[in-house]
Structure 1
Amino acid sequence: MDFLSVDRVSEDAVQAPPESVMKSEDQDETLLSAVLTLPETLRQPMYLYYFEHFNTLEIAEVLQIEPENVRNRMSRARKKLKMMLGKKLEAIRDGRERSRATLKSSS
Structure 2
Amino acid sequence: MDFLSENRLSEGAMQAPESMMNSEGPGDPLLSAVLTLPETLRQPMYLYYFENFNTLEIAEVLQIEPENVRNRMSRARKKLKMMLGKKLGTIRDGREKARKAAHPFP
**TM-score bucket (shorter structure):** 0.5 to 0.7
Identity %: 82
Q: Superposition pairs for residues 1-107 of structure 1, below 5 Å? A: 3-9=14-20, 10-11=23-24, 29-86=28-85
Distance 2:39 2:30 in 1: 15
Structure with more of its chain in helix, by fraction = 1
Is the contact between residue 48 and residue 59 of structure 1 (CA under 8 Å) also seen in structure 2?
yes
Where relative contact order (Cα < 8 A, 6+ residues apart) is larger, the structure is: 1
Measured against aligned partners, the alpha-carbon deviations of 1:68-92 in whole angstroms (never above 9, x if no partner) come to: 0000000000000000112989xxx
Q: Which runs of 5+ in 2 are unaligned?
A: 1-12, 89-106
Measured at CA, do residues 7 and 84 of structure 1 come closer, stay the same or move farther in structure 2, by a change above 3 Å? closer
Q: Aligned residue for 2:93?
A: none
RMSD between superposed Cα atoms in Å: 2.5
